[in-house]
Structure 1
Amino acid sequence: MLPIPIPLVDLSELSDPSESTDPRAAEGVGAAAGPPASGGGLRARKKLLVRAAIVDAALDLFAERGYDTTTVPEIAARAGVSPATVARYFPAKDALLFPERGVRVPALRAAILARPADEPPLRAVLGAVAQQPPLDAESLRRLALQRRAIGSSAVLRGRALGLLGRWRDGIAEAVAEREGQSAESAHVLATAVVAVLDDVTERWAAEGAGDGLQERALAALAVLAGAVGDTNIGSSKGASRARH
Structure 2
Amino acid sequence: MSCPSLVPPGLRERKKLRTRRAILDAAYPLFAEQGFEATTVDQIAAAADVSTSTFFRYFPTKEDLVFSEDEAPHGPSLTEVLCARPAEEPPLTALRHAIRDSLAQARTQPGALERARQRMLLVAEVPSVRARLPEVMARSDRALAEALAERTGRPVDSLETRVLVGAVLGGFREALQYWATAERDTDVGELVDRALDTLTRQLSD
TM-score with structure 1 setting the length: 0.64
| Unaligned runs of at least 5 residues, structure 1 | 1-14, 20-40, 231-244
Tell me the residue number matched to 1:85: 54
User: Structure 1: which amino acid aligns with 2:59?
Assistant: F
1:17-166 to 2 correspondences below 5 Å = 17-18=11-12, 44=15, 48=18, 50-99=19-68, 101-102=71-72, 104-111=77-84, 114-116=86-88, 119-132=89-102, 134=104, 135-136=106-107, 138-166=111-139
TM superposition shift of 1:129: 2.7
TM superposition shift of 1:72: 0.9
Q: How has the CA–CA distance of structure 1 residues 161 and 64 changed in structure 2, closer, same or farther, with 3 Å as cutoff? A: farther
Q: Is the 8 A contact 2:124 2:130 kept in 1?
A: yes
Aligned identity (percent) is 31
Q: Is the 8 A contact 1:105 1:170 kept in 2?
A: no
Equivalenced residue count is 188
TM superposition shift of 1:89: 3.3
Tell me the residue number matched to 1:25: none
Q: How far, CA to CA, are the matches of 1:92 and 1:109 in structure 2? A: 29
Q: How far, CA to CA, are the matches of 2:127 and 2:60 in structure 1? A: 20
User: Structure 1: which amino acid aligns with 2:145?
Assistant: A
The 3-state SS of whatever aligns with 1:98 is: helix
Q: How far, CA to CA, are the matches of 2:21 and 2:154 in structure 1? A: 40
Mean alpha-carbon deviation: is it higher for 183-192 or for 147-156? 147-156
Q: How far, CA to CA, are the matches of 2:82 and 2:143 in structure 1? A: 6
Q: How has the CA–CA distance of structure 1 residues 204 and 62 changed in structure 2, closer, same or farther, with 3 Å as cutoff? A: same
Q: Is residue 2:185 matched to residue 1:213?
A: no
Q: How far, CA to CA, are the matches of 1:133 and 1:148 in structure 2? A: 18
Q: How has the CA–CA distance of structure 1 residues 218 and 77 changed in structure 2, closer, same or farther, with 3 Å as cutoff? A: same
Q: How has the CA–CA distance of structure 1 residues 75 and 185 changed in structure 2, closer, same or farther, with 3 Å as cutoff? A: same
Higher relative contact order (CA 8 A, sep 6+): 1
Structure having the higher Rg: 1
Q: How has the CA–CA distance of structure 1 residues 131 and 58 changed in structure 2, closer, same or farther, with 3 Å as cutoff? A: closer
Cα deviation 1:63-95 (Å, max 9, x = unaligned):
333323321112223334432332333333222
Q: Is the 8 A contact 2:22 2:48 kept in 1?
A: yes
Tell me the residue number matched to 1:198: 173
Tell me the residue number matched to 2:144: 171
Two-structure CA RMSD over aligned residues (Å): 2.9
TM superposition shift of 1:164: 1.8
The 3-state SS of whatever aligns with 1:18 is: helix
| Unaligned runs of at least 5 residues, structure 2 | 1-8
Please identify runs of 4+ aligned residues in structure 1 that moved more than 6 A.
none
Cα deviation 1:140-178 (Å, max 9, x = unaligned):
111122222222322212323222223322332333332
1:217-236 to 2 correspondences below 5 Å = 217-229=192-204
Q: How has the CA–CA distance of structure 1 residues 61 and 176 changed in structure 2, closer, same or farther, with 3 Å as cutoff? A: same
